[in-house]
Structure 1
Amino acid sequence: MIDGLLCCFQYSDLELAINSLVTEFHQAAGNEPAMGPAQFQSMISNQLPRFAKSVDSEDGLSLVLQQMGVQKGDNISFESFWALINKEAIQVFSTVYKEKSVRCGCLLQ
């Protein structure tokens, strides 16, 4: 009975986007719990081309890794990647809704 209900269930755009982020991270990491900087740059170039300009140079990559809380030489965990996605989402929100009456009250900044 439950299997029959699941086949009819429609995922929301948000659920599909989250699934996509999780799937792409783990594919880029090669089924490891974290990825190296080269894997990270490749994933960003392929999946977030607008943001890819930020990590094209060594200095840009270092800055982004620092903002994610990743120390030089460390791999990028999913948690660090998610922190980056959160930061980008807040920036997009701020850009799209510049009206003073609308503010993002996200506590995850």
Structure 2
Amino acid sequence: MAQFSDLEKAIDTLVNQFHSASADKSPTLKTDEFKNLLSSQMPNLMKGVGTDQAFGAILRKIGVHDGEGISFKQFWGLIQSVATEQFGRLSGQKGSSCSCILL
């Protein structure tokens, strides 16, 4: 059996956590399901999101409109954003940023 890398395991975890967050197993998450997913799996992100207005800003940032379900593609956009910010913090360099481009 193949031995998976830490990165492959992390990607698998992201996909599985997203899909298991849907109560009705639909391909999109309802806003409350998405909020619960972020609260349980990305608590550091949610620390700064104390209000519905701040959570709404996250939804708008990833392109979710009122009443719309959150797709995995939109979730992945959030992951990209968080990863880029995390890189800047961990690199310890002011002004450093990831120049990675996702197609």
TM over 0.5: yes
Quick one: which of 10, 27, 30 aligns to 1:17?
10
Q: Which has the higher helix share?
A: 1
After superposing on structure 2, the runs of 4+ consecutive aligned residues of structure 1 that deviate more than 3 Å are none
Aligned Cα root-mean-square deviation (Å): 1.8
Give the C-alpha shift of residue 56 in structure 1.
3.8
Higher relative contact order structure (alpha carbons within 8 Å, sequence separation ≥ 6): 2
Which structure 1 residue ranges, 5 or more long, are not aligned? 1-6
The equivalent position to 1:80 in structure 2, one of 74, 78, 81, is 74
Aligned runs of 1:1-109 on 2, under 5 Å? 7=1, 9-30=2-23, 31-99=25-93, 103-108=97-102
- Are the equivalent residues in 2 in contact too, given 1:54–1:61 (CA < 8 A)? no
**Equivalent pairs, count:** 101
Give aligned-pair identity as a percent: 36
Decide which structure has the larger Cα Rg and report it.
Answer: 1
User: TM-score when scaled to structure 2?
Assistant: 0.88
Structure-1-length-normalised TM-score = 0.84
**CA deviation after TM superposition for structure 1 residue 55, in Å:** 3.9
Unaligned runs of 5+ in 2: none
